[in-house]
Amino acid sequence: MLKICVMGLGYIGLPSASIFATNGFRVVGVDVDAKIIDVLRKGELHINEPGLKTVVCAALQSGNMTVQQEPEEADVFIIAVPTPIKEDKSADLSYVVHATESILPVLRKGNLVVLESTCPPRTTEDILSLILQKSGYKIGEEIFLAHCPERVLPGNILHEFVNNDRIIGGISSSSSCKAKEIYEKVVQGKLVLTDATSAEMAKLMENTFRDVNIALANEVCKIAYDLNLDALEILKLANMHPRVHLHQPGPGVGGHCLAVDPWFVVEKSNNAKLIRLSREINDGMPEFVVGLVRNMLLNRERPKVTVLGVTYKGNVDDVRESPATKVIRKMKQENIEVCIYDPYVKNYEFALANLEEAFLASDLVLVLADHNEFKYLAADELGPLMRTKQVFDARNCLHHDKWKVAGFTVKALGKNKKPV
């Protein structure tokens, strides 16, 4: 039975480890955070992902998977640790470097090392390869090294891990083939072989494509306010063209992919001008939203805003790089009281409230995440709790007519024309 050591038990590492384990591999899951190890050993999860708890518990109870803080000898090492950005927008590769260095004492000839973490181009070739050379083995011949970027959507990770096509980029053809032999045991999608740097760049382009197109929609939204137009109507009309598919505007772009990955390209090339501008447009949307909120709170003394949802997307608990956090910080800087309700989030930078507390004496309901639960809120029951019945739907996810019937003034991002 092949043994796999998975470094990092977060949104990517934990599903990867448990899926390999339930497919007959012996898996050692490693995370430096003792709290995560303790939670997993109790049969609980530190992240929220549909179906994941069942798979993790099955992997642990079968004995195929164990979890601990230190790596040990294995046939395959999969590195799936975070790659955040620093304040200067450059990649923070400290987690990748530490994880790679930590496996040096347990590396053996013939081992395969796979980097799943998203990273700037040439990370595998220029950083991991050099670290692994310290083992004394020839990289690409005695130690095999590949980059196999994750391609999953939070909220549907288990299905997409198995069914999506995967890119495998080795630093040598033998490295690519070794990695393919492992992934083909669990992945039903196509496995496409390339070199490591091309695999890194392809992954970044997948997310950059979406980020750039969202930036176009957000810019259309801003222009529509300038011209007193309905941005959503414009986008709808444009999308009637058979070769046009414009995205929808929003309060910003979050998550560990779209809000981060394009910066890895900007870091490596001065020619990434469109990519940089798109990132700046999307990063500027939280402040734009706060400006619209400010206009709805004119003449309110000590205004209070009810924030519905702080995750970067609906129906998940992931708050990484969420634009909602930036919106809240900005409102607090402007002395706007903020009360937050999110049924998915347990731990957050700011205090969370229950639904009634969040609405009590509020002047505005601000929707920043499109959780399904918000569509079914009883506007007629929550309205009387408020001081001023207003809604600003920055995600365009509510049933607006229902709120209007309950006496609310309703505005939505890009949907309402500027008053003449």
Say if residue 21 is in the same domain as residue 128. Answer: yes
Residue type, 114: V
**Domain co-membership, 161 together with 291:** no
Stated pTM of the model: 0.90
pLDDT at 54: 95
249 in a structural domain: no
Helix (H) or strand (E) holding 27: strand 26-30
Give DSSP secondary structure letters for 368-396.
-S--GGGGG--HHHHGGG-SS-EEEETT-
3-state SS, 311-336, equals CCCCCCCCCCCCHHHHHHHHHHHCCC
From the number of C-beta atoms within 10 Å of its C-beta (0-12, 13-18, 19+), residue 171 rates as: buried
pLDDT at 392 over 50: yes
Does 122 map to a domain?
yes
φ and ψ of 124, to 5 deg: -65, -45
Q: Residue 390: what are its φ and ψ, rounded to 5°?
A: -135, 145
Tokens of 157: 């990770």
- Whether residue 322 has pLDDT greater than 90: yes
Is 86 within a domain? yes
Residues 312 and 177 in one domain: no
Place of tokens 């995370």: 31
d(CA 390, CA 411): 8
The residues carrying an active-site annotation are 203, 257
Average of per-residue pLDDT across 268-287? 97
Residues 191, 295, single domain; the answer is: no
Judge whether 269 lies within some domain. no
- The parent domain of residue 325 ranges over 285-412
Of 196, 220, 249, at which residue does a domain stop? 196
Cα separation, 120 vs 117, in Å, equals 10
CATH number at residue 76: 3.40.50.720
- Summarize pLDDT for 132-167 with one digit per residue, the tens: 999 999 999 999 999 999 988 888 899 999 999 999
- What gap in Å lies between CA 83 and CA 416, rounded to an integer? 38
Same domain, 8 and 155: yes
Q: What is the pLDDT of residue 419?
A: 47
Q: Encode pLDDT of 107-141 as tens digits.
A: 999 999 999 999 999 999 999 999 999 999 999 99
Structure tokens at 193: 């072989």
188 in the same domain as 310: no
Tokens 């009883």, residue located: 378
In this prediction, residue 372 carries a pLDDT of: 96
Handedness of CA 323, 324, 329, 330 (dihedral sign): positive
123 in any annotated domain: yes
Final residue of a structural domain among 149, 173, 196:
196
* Pair (19, 140) in one structural domain: yes
> What average pLDDT is seen over the chain?
95
- How many folded domains does the chain comprise? 2
Q: Are 147 and 172 in contact (CB under 8 A)?
A: no
pLDDT exceeds cutoff 80 at 270 = yes
Helix (H) / strand (E) element for 340: namely strand 337-341
Q: Is residue 363 part of a domain?
A: yes
- 181, 196, 211: which is the final residue of a domain? 196
The confidence score (pLDDT) of residue 1 equals: 81
**261 inside domain:** no
The pLDDT of 250-278, averaged and rounded, is: 95
Q: Within a domain: residue 225?
A: no
* Structure confidence at residue 152 (pLDDT): 87
